[in-house]
Structure 1
Amino acid sequence: MMKNLLRTAFEKRSSLFEVTDAYRIVNGAADGFPGLTLDRFGDRFQVQFFGPEMLSRRREIVEAIVEAFNPVCVVVKERLSRSGKSLENAPMEIAFGSREDAVGVVREGRARFHVDLLDTVNPGLFLDMRHVRLEVEDRFCALSGAAQSGEGPRFLNLFSYTCSFSVHARLGGAAVATNADISGKILDKGRENYALNGLDLRPGEFFRGNALEYVRWACKKGLRFDGIVLDPPSFARFKGFNFNVREHLMPLVAECAQILNPHGFFMVSSNYSEFALDAFSRDVLDAVKSVHKNARTAWKRGQDIDFAGSGSTKDSCLVATLVEV
């Protein structure tokens, strides 16, 4: 029964198989597994328990995954404490395979990315933003093809994490893809992803610091970008500054708009569960319009198709919108 449920969920994602080998196979109750997610990263599988509903069947679930998919590694993470509190530093266990097996490379379109299922809660690639990353690459293909002269189109990736958006932008033809993140360790992983994709490191592409600090510096220097992605965590701390997405996101959107070129695009997203998509999209557009009067919303959406039932639980939510100016 368990194996059949897994195979049914897996087959629902068949349209992604040619695109990537990194996707969500089970997204909680929508796939018949309340409180549980199952992500595939190549031959490595990650199980996360966000609730107690199926914890008692943990061993049975792992055995079914091994039988159904023949993985090299299965890592289990418990995202709730026994008292029901959400854990950012989730307990991790290798339920099948070895520590070495938890590390590998996944493909996404033309891109490749390093993953490590035991590094942090997230292995190095946020699966729910795949469709946006692929669109960023397509947009830079179009921008670079339309460029008549000059240095080529430029991309800015704020809260860049492991720089996956920038890899796609560079593969699409961006002349420069600048990454801003507060973590030097994370930016080093971004450099590794550049190398994995045969991308040279260009001046100005890696900035360690908070996003607002970079945007204000870029504004003073007269830097402009043809595409910007702003995908912040709900909360972040850097040098005494506490970023709160509810309070600080829209003012930051307005400041970013000042360094966005005419005819450019700006994607803003958040996993903060209290945001409603329509209101979020409207607020982002208003912030961009404070600088670019003719800005328009190109789209607004949630998670990709492998996140069945997206928005129905706090652990599976995304609001994203793309504005063109």
Structure 2
Amino acid sequence: MKKDVTLTVKGKFVNKYKSGYPLISKEAIINFNEVTEEGTIIRLVDEKNKFIAKGYFGKQNKGYGWVFSRNEKEQIDQSFFENKLRAAINYRESFFNNPDTNAFRIVNGEGDGLGGLTIEYFDGYYLINWYSKGIYRFREYIINALKGLVEFKAIYQKKRFDVSGKYIEDDDFVAGERGTFPIIVKENGEHFAVYLNEGAMVGIFLDQRDVRKRIRDSYANGKNVLNTFSYTGAFSVFAVLGGAAKTTSVDLANRSLGKTIEQFSLNGIDYDSQDIIVEDVFHYFKYAVKKQLKFEMVILDPPSFARSKKIVFSAEKDYKNLLKEAISITADNGIIVASTNSSSFNMKKFKSFIDQAFKETKRKYQLVEEFSLPKDFKTIKEYPEGSYLKVVFIKNLP
């Protein structure tokens, strides 16, 4: 590592960083061009050269690095990462002791003081996600710290260095004994197939755990359920296990068919009795309207940004119109599960999209309940963007 670089924070940003904001941005720094090598330790000072914080330089889609410490004397060394990981693991102690769930997050980036890094646990297997070359420069410290703190079957990694968030193909195995995939994990008593060796996606998004449970336990019974942007069909699995009359899973990706069949089969569900459709969700909405289909539950969990041959979808710009499409095929008193993982707007803004969509379709609605990230996805109040997940259950009133 090169020696530390001192960066001066512009006056109007000083209080923001002093109060605990962790993301280092280009516009906040006067002499930003003085740091070029990712992984460099940077000291943030005010214009009077008074210490504010220290962190590292690492480009990712969110910014240019993260604050690690507000203690000027703290060294960013092996013991630093051991202490951070130990605290993170202790915080999730209840998850390790849960017999019904063995897949969860143990490090959630800046929520655990380690911006640019996440670590997930899958029944004895650990998966490290590196979001910049900068954080990857500390890999030996972090991997050694993890090895020293936990017993593991194997450790895998994903390199997500591209600033657009793309995945870098590489050998994902790090340590232990290579797994035989899929590995079968439990979530609230149900089962999912997980692949740690097939590119960026492993087969399940852990942040929706509480939402899936609620659908199973309180909403699905007897309902005809449409699951859009269905990926591997996790919501559909929980809906069927909650007594849904039928599920229809729609996703554009060809892999979604086989993956959804796999998840159904794992849970003893006859997949032939469910509809699994590989199609652009927007095309399916038009088909459903034409055929006058109605669903008692519609699940909307689109990516923040998606592109197909004819459509570019951005949650911030287009979620209202997506909701309008969903409203048109939702039965009276039916439930729409509106979800977004976009960090570019907050829950208040999201609810405004919901309100606009219902007003423009001349429908009435009731907000039934809402969800954000589960406990293992730890966040900090100084970085509200980190609490990205927003889920609202909406009743489509007659």
The reply to whether TM is greater than 0.5 is yes
Aligned to 1:253: 323
Query: Contact (CA 8 Å) 2:320, 2:356: kept in 1 or not?
Result: no
Q: How many angstroms apart in 1 are the aligned matches of 2:351 and 2:384? A: 20
Give the C-alpha shift of residue 217 in structure 1: 1.1
Instruction: Map Cα deviations across residues 12-35 of structure 1 (whole Å, 9 max, x no partner).
Output: 223444241111111123213232
Give the counterpart letter for 1:193 in structure 2. Q
Q: Which residue of 2 aligns with 1:317?
A: 388
SS at match of 2:338: strand
Identity of aligned residues (%): 31
Contact kept, 8 Å, 1:156 with 1:225, in 2: the verdict is yes
Q: Which aligned pairs between 1:1-325 and structure 2 lie closer than 5 A?
A: 1=79, 2-16=81-95, 17-18=97-98, 19-51=100-132, 54-81=135-162, 85-92=163-170, 93-101=172-180, 103-140=182-219, 144=221, 152-203=222-273, 205-291=275-361, 293-309=363-379, 312=383, 317-325=388-396
Which digits, 9 at most, give the CA deviation of each residue in 1:172-218, with x for residues without a partner? 00011110001121221011000000001245611111111112211
| Mapped contact 1:285–1:297 kept (Cα < 8 A) | no
- The equivalent residue for 2:7 is none
Distance 1:171 1:228 in 2: 16
Q: In structure 2, do the counterparts of structure 1 residues 314 and 282 end up closer, same or farther at CA, with 3 Å as the change threshold?
A: closer
Instruction: Describe the shift of the 1:315–1:29 C-alpha distance in structure 2 as closer, same or farther (beyond 3 A).
Output: closer
Deviates further, 124-133 or 163-172 = 124-133
Q: Distance in 2 between matches of 1:106 and 1:289?
A: 42
Displacement of 1:236 after TM fit?
2.2
Deviations 1:267-313, CA, capped at 9 Å, x for gaps: 11222221221111221233135447331112334311111116838
Offset of residue 46 of structure 1:
0.9
CA distance in 2, matches of 1:195, 1:285: 39
Distance of aligned partners of 1:265 and 1:240 in 2 relative to their CA distance in 1, 3 Å threshold: same
Aligned CA distance change for structure 1 residues 225 and 254 (closer, same or farther; 3 Å): same
Cα distance in structure 1, aligned partners of 2:318 and 2:302:
10
**More contact order relative to length (CA 8 Å, sep ≥ 6):** 1
Q: Any idea what SS the aligned residue of 1:243 has?
A: strand
Give, in angstroms, the shift of residue 265 of structure 1.
Answer: 1.2
CA distance in 1, matches of 2:132, 2:253: 30
For residues 171 and 40 of structure 1, do their structure 2 counterparts lie closer, same or farther at Cα, with a shift above 3 Å needed? same
SS in 1 for 2:282: helix
Distance 1:134 1:72 in 2: 28
| 1:111 Cα deviation after fit | 1.4
Counterparts of 2:394 and 2:118, CA distance in 1: 31
Q: Is the CA contact (8 Å cut-off) linking 1:187 and 1:206 kept in structure 2?
A: yes
Measured in 2, the distance between the counterparts of 1:86 and 1:180 equals 26
Specify whether residues 314 and 279 from structure 1 end up closer, same or farther in structure 2 by C-alpha distance, changes over 3 A only.
closer
Shift of 1:4: 4.5
Once the two structures are TM-superposed, the CA of residue 40 in structure 1 deviates from its matched residue by 0.9
Shift of 1:155: 0.7
> Match for 2:255: what amino acid?
K
Deviations 1:230-258, CA, capped at 9 Å, x for gaps: 11112223333333333332112111111
- Give the root-mean-square deviation of aligned CA atoms: 2.3
What's the CA shift for 1:101? 4.3
**Is the 1:176–1:202 Cα contact (8 Å) retained in structure 2?**
no
Instruction: Flag the 1:292–1:115 CA change in 2: closer, same or farther, 3 A.
Output: farther
Counterpart residue identity of residue 302, structure 1: S
Instruction: Kindly provide the amino acid, as one letter, of the partner of residue 73 in structure 1.
Output: A
Helix, strand or coil at the partner of 1:295:
strand
Equivalent-residue separation in structure 1 for 2:84 and 2:328 (angstroms): 50
Q: Look up the SS of the partner of 2:211 in the other structure.
A: helix
Question: Counterpart of 2:235 in 1: which secondary structure?
Answer: helix
Q: CA, structure 1 residues 237+30, in 2 after alignment: closer, same or farther (shift >3 Å)?
A: closer
Q: Which runs of 5+ in 1 are unaligned?
A: 145-151
- The number of residue pairs the alignment matches comes to 313
- Shift in alpha-carbon separation, 1:235–1:76, aligned structure 2, 3 A: same
CA distance in structure 1 between the partners assigned to 2:247 and 2:380 by the alignment: 30
AA aligned to 1:55 is Y
Contact 2:101 2:189 in 1 (8 A): no
Contact 1:156 1:177 in 2 (8 A): yes
Q: Determine the structure 2 residue equivalent to 1:149.
A: none
Deviation at 1:324, TM superposition (A): 1.7
Greater CA radius of gyration, 1 or 2?
Answer: 2
Following superposition, the deviation at residue 69 of structure 1 comes to 2.3
Residues 292 and 8 (structure 1), Cα distance of their counterparts in 2 relative to 1, 3 Å cut: farther
**Structure 1 length normalisation: TM-score?**
0.87
